[in-house]
């Protein structure tokens, strides 16, 4: 009887050790079997897949299609601190207009400075809860409620992450494409029963919208481009102050 008890104790100890080893090493074994998304960067052409021999076995390059693009876009992230410049153009029968925009973003705050076609300069400053706006030369400012999309709206650019909310049949085209010599993910959508076609080019390096276009009945009515280098983090001397000099945020603060 005593010998049987010893045998049971030995078996229990062996089982306990085996369980501990499986817990320690099993997760790593299973994790290696989970593929991760690899996107082309500026160091490789958007048309040339990276050398598979240089990739670890737990990574695989995902082809961007209308079926996979939302998953790819969901892996992209905008920098939290940066400065960049962009151009916004609108077109109509017999005319067009152009606005130049500078954008400073840091710590959840965004300050955009637009030079409008009239020559007036408008400022929009927001933390995602309140929007402050004013024009150069004025000490007065106004406020309005804001949300996470208010910064993009102030810059007159679309929020490309909205493609994640679309039905798959609203995405008509997707793939890798260079725009302004920058490797991008291209998404082309037709929301609902709209007569518009909207195109977004999102940088795979910065996660920022590099370019966007809107066509209506085959005519280009909107274009945004941002091909200049992105400065990240945001310059230390960037201003997040109201026209009365009240400072709402300091870079890195």
pLDDT tens for 187-215 read: 999 988 788 999 999 999 999 999 999 99
Q: What percent of the chain stands above pLDDT 70? A: 75
Is 54 part of any domain? Answer: no
59 located within any domain: no
Number of domains present in the structure of the chain: 1
**pLDDT single digits (tens) 14-59:** 444 444 433 433 433 333 333 344 554 444 444 444 443 443 344 3
Here the tokens at position 191 are: 């929301």
Residue 105 falls within a domain, yes or no?
Answer: yes
Q: CA 229, CA 150: separation in Å to the nearest integer?
A: 23
pLDDT digits 0-9 by tens, 87-103: 999 999 999 999 999 99
List, in sequence order, every residue forming a beta bridge with 201; answer none if it has no partner.
Answer: 186, 211
> How many C-beta atoms surround the C-beta of residue 62 within 10 A?
16
Domain at 209, CATH number: 2.50.20.10
194 sits in the region (left: phi over 0; alpha: psi -120 to 50; else beta) called beta
Mean pLDDT score across all residues of the chain: 82
54 or 124: which carries more pLDDT confidence? 124
Helix (H, G, I), strand (E, B) or coil at 231: strand
Is 51 domain-assigned? no
Which residues are CB-contacts of 103 (< 8 A; sequence separation ≥ 6)? 82, 83, 84, 85, 86, 110, 111, 112, 113, 151, 155
| 64, part of any domain | no
Output the pLDDT for position 225: 98
Its sign, for the CA torsion 9, 15, 19, 25, is: positive
Q: Express each pLDDT in 161-187 by its tens digit.
A: 998 888 889 999 999 999 999 999 999
Is pLDDT of 70 > 80? yes
Question: What pLDDT score was predicted for residue 61?
Answer: 57
Write the CB contacts of 31 (distance below 8 Å, at least 6 apart in sequence).
Answer: 58
Q: Is the confidence at residue 115, as pLDDT, over 70?
A: yes
Assigned domain for 28 exists = no
Non-local CB neighbours of 183 within 8 Å, separated by 6+ positions: 39, 40, 41, 42, 44, 45, 46, 176, 203, 204, 205
Domain that holds residue 185: 69-249
Is residue 52 one of the residues assigned to a domain?
A: no
Whether residue 115 is contained in a domain is answered as yes
Give the pLDDT of residue 114: 97
């Amino acid at each position: 009887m005593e010998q049987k008890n010893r045998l049971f104790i030995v078996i229990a100890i062996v089982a306990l050790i085996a369980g501990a080893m499986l817990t320690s090493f099993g997760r790593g074994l299973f994790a290696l079997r989970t593929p991760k998304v690899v996107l082309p960067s500026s160091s490789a052409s958007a048309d040339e897949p990276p050398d598979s021999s240089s990739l670890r076995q737990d990574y695989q390059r995902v082809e961007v299609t209308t079926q996979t693009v939302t998953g790819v876009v969901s892996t992209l992230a905008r920098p939290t601190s940066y400065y960049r410049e962009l151009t916004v153009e609108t077109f109509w029968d017999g005319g067009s207009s152009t606005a130049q925009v500078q954008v400073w973003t840091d710590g959840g705050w965004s300050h955009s400075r637009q030079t409008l076609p009239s020559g007036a300069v408008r400022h929009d400053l927001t933390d995602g809860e309140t929007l402050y706006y004013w024009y150069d030369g004025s000490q007065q400012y106004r406020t309005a409620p804001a949300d996470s999309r208010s910064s993009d709206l102030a810059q007159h650019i679309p929020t490309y992450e909205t493609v994640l909310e679309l039905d798959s049949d609203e995405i008509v085209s997707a793939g890798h494409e260079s725009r302004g010599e920058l490797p991008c993910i291209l998404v082309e959508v037709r929301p609902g029963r709209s007569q518009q076609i909207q195109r977004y080019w999102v940088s795979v390096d910065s996660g920022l919208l590099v370019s966007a276009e809107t066509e209506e009945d085959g005519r280009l009515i909107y274009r945004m481009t941002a091909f200049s280098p992105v400065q990240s983090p945001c310059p230390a001397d960037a201003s997040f102050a109201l026209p009365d000099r009240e400072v709402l945020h300091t870079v890195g603060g």
